[in-house]
């Protein structure tokens, strides 16, 4: 029997015991639903993931994409599950039913996406990017633009992309050279080149809608002069019908370490002078519009890394229970003793418990961000709305950067459990390692996430973002202190949270001084340490629920929650304190390192 895709019982624990999402049924926004409907959505996502999507996971990696004469052919095995995703309207779970969505809470959607993304992230990039493009049109488009594009993007009938990066600009988006010239009919002629475009060309959908960043002639330099345009691969007529091909050409496909079933394209716009586009939003406000999609995608990248880690953990756990090797520690001297499953060896237990702690902590973290979105959407109290907005703001770069790095680490740890077999294609964990690595690089490399975390989030809302985070941690700590078994863990987390707050204050002060370079040199270590404190918080929160349920029939399940918290806080958090103490915001050696000394 194949290992399970994910831990259904733990998903239920997070939804209904940790975050109590059924309380959202009392709000006006979600009163049309009931718990049975929530559970049915998650169950159907599981069925689709297990039966139709996961079987394509290894196959699409082996087959890869084919590029010929400007056209990309994706692995044929993706066609059927993609059609099922379209028919089931899985591409816009939280959006209005008027446009092909299902109007679900973000937390329930997150549970469904854990199954779908975990089964094959490559497959899910197609509806995810379509939804992202549609969301920008939903928020900033004209009524006519919504009429033309929104439903087909949300349902996945049409694909979407995100055309930001250029060969000479990279992450410095403000240095782009793609230009836009207004036409007499109100449209724009677009000219330029883009690279690293996920699904920029593919044969799964009848059309692809490209959101393109470009500079209108005469606009200011830098990001302040960037506008956003809707550029269809096939022109969309005023009545919604498809017209002639737009002047959008795929010039190449990258050979990558992983994600072989997803084309990463170079795109030429207006090479024949015939690329047309619609202005989306106001002129020179393109980055403001694009950030809505980028933040959404960054959370989904965190989910990609988490589900890769979870899948790798499930496979490693299953393998460790079955693989016989060596004698137990108690019988090392007895050469006649029988071999035991490797899960009985202390070091393998250590690796598995470490993976379990990260996977469960990261699951709660990602679901918590979804929960904050739901709280913000359903609350009528202005102060509460502001609090949850602060929390999603400060946690977004953590979900993207910290989860992508620790998710990759878990995949590597899983490979270690398999030993030499893990390094071969006989087992799927080597693909998980390859596919997961990109999460720390694309959609804003983690160094950029760290700069955003320090520069905009730690001091954001006049310190309100960090204050909201520390206050929520304090509530969990106070509750855990009332439990004798958890009191010591709570005190250790309390010390870590206090040191985190003080370190952040020191980093902010340095950022606005002559030591700003030193402050940004330590931005990534600070973000990593914050991620560890937040993960410890999530695990303690889980343990504080579990400790009251140890006498029932699920005693083993709940005891596992406490063990995960104990392991993380006892073995990972002490190193976190060292990382925080090592955040050197003054005279950081990296800041004044002359390039000639390398």
Active site residues: 443
Which are the contacts of 547, defined by CB distance < 8 A and separation ≥ 6?
483, 485, 486, 558, 562
Q: What single string gives the DSSP state of each residue in 465-530?
A: HHHHHHHHHHHHHHHHHTSTTTHHHHHHHHHHHHHHHHHHHHHHHHHTSTTHHHHHHTHHHHHHHH
Distance in angstroms between the alpha carbons of the first and the last residue of the chain: 52
Asked if 321 contacts 341 with a C-beta cutoff of 8 angstroms, the reply is yes
Burial of residue 131 (CB within 10 Å: 0-12, 13-18, 19+) is: buried
CB 201 within 8 A of CB 160: no
Nearest Cα to 211, choosing from 178, 259, 182, 237? Answer: 178
Q: 310 near 7, Cβ under 8 Å?
A: yes
| Interstrand relation of 264-269 and 208-216 (parallel, antiparallel or unpaired) | unpaired
129 phi-psi bin (left φ>0, alpha ψ -120 to 50, beta other) = alpha
Q: How far is CA 23 from the centre of its chain?
A: 25
Q: 507: closest CA among 434, 591, 575?
A: 591
Q: How far apart are CA 135 and CA 146, in angstroms?
A: 10
**Count of C-beta atoms within a 10 Å radius of residue 464:** 17
């Amino acid at each position: 029997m194949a290992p399970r895709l994910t831990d259904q019982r733990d998903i239920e624990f997070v939804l209904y015991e940790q975050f109590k999402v059924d309380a959202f049924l009392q709000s006006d926004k979600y009163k049309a639903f009931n718990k049975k409907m929530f559970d049915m959505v998650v169950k159907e996502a599981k069925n689709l993931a297990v039966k139709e999507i996961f079987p394509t996971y290894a196959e699409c990696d082996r087959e890869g994409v084919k590029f010929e004469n400007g056209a990309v052919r994706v692995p044929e095995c993706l066609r059927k599950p993609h059609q099922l995703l379209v028919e089931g309207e899985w591409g816009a779970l939280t959006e209005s039913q008027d446009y092909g969505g299902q109007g679900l809470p973000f937390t329930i959607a997150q549970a469904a996406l854990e199954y779908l993304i975990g089964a094959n992230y490559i497959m899910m990039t197609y509806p995810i990017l379509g939804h992202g493009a549609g969301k920008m049109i939903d928020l900033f488009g004209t009524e006519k633009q919504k009429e033309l594009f929104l439903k087909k993007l949300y349902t996945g009938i049409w694909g979407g992309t995100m055309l930001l990066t250029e060969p000479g600009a990279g992450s410095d988006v403000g240095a782009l050279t793609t230009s836009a010239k207004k036409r007499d009919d109100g449209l724009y002629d677009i000219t330029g080149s883009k690279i690293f475009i996920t699904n920029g060309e593919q044969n799964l959908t009848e059309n692809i809608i490209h959101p393109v960043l470009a500079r209108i002639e005469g606009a200011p330099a830098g990001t302040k002069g960037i506008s956003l345009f809707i550029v269809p691969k096939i022109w969309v007529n005023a009545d919604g019908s498809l017209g002639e091909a737009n002047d959008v050409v795929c010039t190449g496909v990258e050979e990558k370490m992983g994600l072989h079933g997803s084309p990463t394209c170079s795109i030429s716009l207006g090479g024949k002078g015939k690329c047309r586009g619609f202005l989306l939003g106001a002129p020179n406000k393109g980055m403001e519009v694009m950030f809505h999609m980028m933040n959404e995608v960054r959370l989904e990248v965190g989910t990609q890394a988490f589900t890769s880690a979870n899948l790798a953990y499930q496979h490693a756990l299953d393998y460790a229970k079955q693989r016989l090797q060596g004698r137990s520690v108690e019988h090392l001297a007895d050469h006649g003793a029988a071999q035991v499953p490797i899960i009985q060896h202390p070091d393998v237990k250590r690796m598995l418990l470490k993976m379990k702690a990260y996977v469960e902590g990261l699951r709660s973290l990602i679901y918590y961000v979804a929960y904050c979105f739901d709280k913000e959407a359903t609350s009528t109290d202005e102060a509460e709305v502001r609090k949850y907005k602060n929390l999603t703001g400060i946690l977004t770069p953590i979900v993207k950067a910290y989860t992508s790095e620790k998710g990759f680490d878990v995949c590597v740890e899983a490979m270690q459990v398999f030993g030499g077999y893990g390094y071969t294609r006989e087992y799927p964990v080597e693909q998980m390692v390859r596919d997961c690595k990109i999460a720390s690089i694309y959609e804003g490399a983690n160094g950029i996430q760290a700069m955003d975390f320090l520069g905009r989030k730690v001091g954001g809302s006049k310190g309100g973002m960090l204050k909201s985070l520390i206050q929520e941690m304090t509530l969990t700590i106070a509750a855990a202190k009332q439990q004798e078994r958890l009191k010591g863990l709570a005190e250790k987390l309390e010390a870590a949270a206090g040191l985190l707050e003080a370190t952040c204050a020191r980093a902010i002060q340095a950022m606005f001084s002559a030591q700003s370079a030193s402050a940004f040199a330590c931005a990534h270590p600070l973000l990593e340490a914050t991620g560890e404190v937040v993960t410890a918080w999530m695990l303690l929160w889980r343990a504080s629920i579990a400790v009251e349920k140890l006498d029932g029939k699920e005693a083993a399940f709940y005891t596992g929650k406490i063990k995960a918290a104990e392991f993380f806080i006892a073995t990972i958090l002490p190193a976190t304190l060292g990382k925080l103490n090592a955040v050197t915001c003054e005279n950081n050696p990296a800041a004044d390192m002359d390039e000639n000394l390398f």
